[in-house]
Amino acid sequence: MEIEIASLRQVTNDLLERLEADGITKLELDADYYWSIPPEHRYDRHDEPKEHVMGQLSEDLAFTNQLIDGTRPPVTYGLVWISSLLRYIGEKIVV
Q: Kindly report the average pLDDT of the chain as a whole number.
A: 94
Q: Is the residue at 45 inside a domain?
A: yes
**Cβ(42)–Cβ(49) under 8 Å?**
yes
Task: Give CA separation, 49 vs 25, 40, 83, 86, in Å.
Answer: 36, 10, 20, 23
How many percent of the chain have pLDDT more than 70?
99
Q: Is the residue at 19 inside a domain?
A: no
Question: Per the structure, how many domains does the chain have?
Answer: 1
Nearest to 27 by CA among 5, 63, 57: 57
Q: 4-38 pLDDT, tens per residue?
A: 999 999 999 999 999 999 999 999 999 999 999 98
Q: Say whether pLDDT at 47 is over 90.
A: no
23: left (phi over 0), alpha (psi -120 to 50) or beta: left
Structural domain boundaries enclosing 38: 28-92
Q: Is the residue at 8 inside a domain?
A: no
Q: Say whether pLDDT at 44 is over 90.
A: no
Instruction: Specify the pTM.
Output: 0.89
pLDDT (0 to 100) of residue 94: 78
